[in-house]
Structure 1
């Protein structure tokens, strides 16, 4: 989400305003963590969680009766949480920022290794747990997934396989993130500079939208239009691109061109999301929000990321911020299906507020366990193994670095 997925191995120093990187200078200390950004990421995950639990159309709150939707059980909270799916847009903006930070000055092998080590340990556990829940523990969940879909889901590339669904619907965002990582790997191979980042951040969203728009008029076959959508994902490109330029401002300083690129992507992202949400949100929540409100909220998300990275907020030391950042990814992976199961189990026995509080606590504890016992021990090992395969000399050098 990632991502939803700010890199935990942020030892790569940000380029200096004069354009130098760690290839030019030796830096012995890691850059300071952006505590407010870590907290913002967890808030985004919790917003998505509340959306799925209290606003999304499901009837698990009704227990055995199953005659009330979540919004009917939570008439006031759902009005607010129906906006929570925009947490995904916030994730994508943050991902553009932190992934550019993560890969700047790195070789493609180092970047790939860092992403594999960061994403896969928790993800593999989450996929196996989701399979156990819906095929063994709770087969009446009604997700319409088949056991054979487990294997492609373990790759995290199932979104690119025809006829394969996500074992947990939240994985669709990981497929979008994965495509962004593949583009950034190519960018690492070409070589990242401030000028190239600006060019990519402007041309990528515009080119994707143009190809998407003119494809039918030019008679592009369906498979080619689908390929454009898969490779360039124009609906989400402005979010990632805007986050990338915000990192450019963070690392290289302010300029009219950079802020112009941020504004361009913010407007494109806001309009695209508003167009999509006006049609989609009523179908999944029953609420119809005005088009202009979606535009303002998405623009506000860009302002929020700018505030927590470019203002004095970025220097705040917030107790628990590191834990918040570490919990974000496993919370996102685990919350939907397991939260619904907890709600279904307890809805007949406890008041709704107690059920909600219990579900939140259980998911947070489970996320901490995944981070403590899966991510922390296995992430670095997997990262080192991948780097050893892709770039043996680099892995050996890194192993000797204190």
Structure 2
């Protein structure tokens, strides 16, 4: 009996707009777990003085375990490769750009304001932050100007933005299934070469050690449409291997620099494999059918929680821990930042995100139409309106 062909990817022109795109509730839940793992890492594993003593002394048995929460970032990147491709497919550059701006910036601007308020008004002297540094951070591309992040967790946003630029370039030349597969096979290899040869420019442009995480996530999305495609599985395997070599090693160095924990190749390889396996589990099995609304809600809290938990959370720990046991402090601080994340989602992201997306889309479309005009049409558009003729 002849095997039936796998279902083709949907035609870009037939993909519904953002409001009608399917949402994988289980993937939202996985994003939330990744955020909570990173939160625990920053509170219990990273060396800081919020607990009144070195972290390894405050949590001597927990630090080596919770340190693996750092790999929540790698899990984020695999999920991002999956979700961003799902979001970009069928869009043009204008629509994709407007979607990303509307999604990222409202909560991010609130986060910058909250961190500045902490550093200037609530806990002055903790870290110097000036007007120029704040203004640069509001752009989200401060690292391109050589300006440091005022909040340490912002480094991942710079990584995400560079990935978005590459997706935008793919959309500009025409995003097809075969081009995506070729891109996901070649791009991470070039990025790995740039990392191994210490080429800072090319490593920056190609998203460095994190490229195979995004590319692997993209292949997992394509596999939801073509689960029997050998080529897709091979490209996924290539990216898993590259991620273990370059991204796993890179993250192990970050952990060693931030904690007193050292992990070997076998351990960080296992962590990288787990990141891909978890995304595959929730997207390629029956778990993808879950439709619990609470998963969608906690998924919506992930981004503001990630942005706001670090500096403010450590400050709250320092205020409450002298009066409460460690576990009670950890629980209450986590509940507090979750509550703030909900308020930011409800009163910042939900009202402002769609408005910002529509405004950006409108301006980009108008600019695109203007640039597409012939020279004479541009001169005519610039010409002032003639004065009305008086009838008196």
TM-score normalised by the chain length of structure 1 = 0.86
Q: 2:355 aligns with which of 381, 384, 387?
A: 381
> Are residues 1:50 and 2:40 paired?
yes
1:213 is displaced (CA, Å) by 3.6
Once residues 55 and 114 of structure 1 are traced to their aligned partners in structure 2, the CA distance between those partners, rounded to angstroms, is: 35
SS at match of 2:164: helix
State how far apart, in whole Å, the 1-side matches of 2:23 and 2:90 are: 19
Say which SS state the counterpart of residue 317 (structure 1) adopts. coil
After the TM superposition, which of the residue ranges 175-184 and 69-78 deviates more from structure 2? 69-78
Greater shift, 246-255 or 286-295, is seen at 246-255
Measure, in 1, the Cα distance between the counterparts of 2:256 and 2:13: 51
Change (3 A) 1:27 1:369: closer
- Is 1:130 the counterpart of 2:112? The answer is no
**Residue 37 of structure 1 aligns with which residue?**
27
1:197 and 2:180 correspond:
yes
Quote the offset at 1:347 in angstroms: 1.6
Deviation at 1:349, TM superposition (A): 1.2
Residue 298 (structure 2) pairs with residue 324 (structure 1): yes
Which of 145, 149, 174 aligns to 1:166? It is 149
Asked if the contact 1:387–1:394 (Cα under 8 Å) also holds between the matched residues in 2, the reply is no
Deviation at 1:253, TM superposition (A): 3.5
- For the 8 Å contact 2:26–2:295, the answer to whether it is kept is yes
1:371, 1:280 → 2: CA distance?
30
Q: Mean alpha-carbon deviation: is it higher for 206-215 or for 288-297?
A: 206-215
Q: Is the 8 A contact 1:209 1:234 kept in 2?
A: yes
- 1:8 aligned residue: none
Counterpart contact for 2:317–2:330, Cα < 8 Å? yes
What secondary structure sits across from 2:125 in the alignment? helix
The answer to whether 1:95 aligns with 2:80 is: yes
For residues 27 and 145 of structure 1, what CA distance do their matches in structure 2 show?
41
Cα 1:29/1:272, change in 2 over 3 Å: closer
1:346 matches 2:313: no
Alignment-derived partner of residue 133 in structure 2: 149
Q: Tell whether 2:285 aligns with 1:311.
A: yes
* Residues 231-260 of structure 1, C-alpha deviations (whole Å, 9 max, x = no match): 012200000000011111113433111001
Distance in 1 (alpha carbons) for counterparts of 2:7 and 2:17: 15
Per-residue Cα deviation, 1:62-118 (whole angstroms, up to 9, x for no partner):
1xxxxx112321223322211111000000000000000111110100000000000
2:156 pairs with 1:182: no
Q: How does 1:64-103 map to 2 (within 5 A)?
A: 68-103=53-88
Contact 1:198 1:258 in 2 (8 A): yes
Aligned with 1:60 (options 50, 58, 61): 50
Check whether the contact 2:282–2:288 (CA below 8 A) recurs between aligned residues.
yes
Note closer, same or farther for the CA distance 1:210–1:137 as it changes in structure 2 (3 Å cut): same
Deviation at 1:22, TM superposition (A): 4.6
Give 5+ residue unaligned stretches, structure 1. 1-15, 63-67, 216-224, 396-402
Distance (whole Å) between structure 1 residues aligned to residue 123 and residue 17 of structure 2: 52
Q: How does 1:111-126 map to 2 (within 5 A)?
A: 111-126=96-111
Distance 1:378-1:198 versus aligned 2 partners, 3 A rule: same
Residues 392/253 of structure 1: CA separation in 2 closer, same or farther (3 Å cut): farther
Q: Is the 8 A contact 1:95 1:240 kept in 2?
A: yes
**Matched residue count:** 364
Q: Which residue of 2 aligns with 1:7?
A: none
Between the aligned partners of 1:113 and 1:170, the Cα distance in structure 2 is 23
2-structure distance, mates of 1:27, 1:375: 19
* 1:252-306 CA-partner distances (Å, limit 9, x unpaired): 4331110011111011101213323444423311012222011011111101101
**For the aligned residues, what is the CA RMSD?**
2.1
> In the TM superposition, what whole-angstrom CA distance separates every residue of 1:147-168 from its partner, at most 9, and x where no partner exists?
4310000000011112x11010
Whose radius of gyration is greater, 1 or 2? 2
Structure-to-structure mapping, 1:176-325, within 5 angstroms:
176-214=159-197, 225-325=199-299
> Partner residue of 2:3?
none
Aligned-partner SS, 2:168: helix
How far, CA to CA, are the matches of 1:351 and 1:254 in structure 2? 53
What's the CA shift for 1:210? 2.3
Aligned to 1:4: none
* Counterpart contact for 1:135–1:147, Cα < 8 Å: no
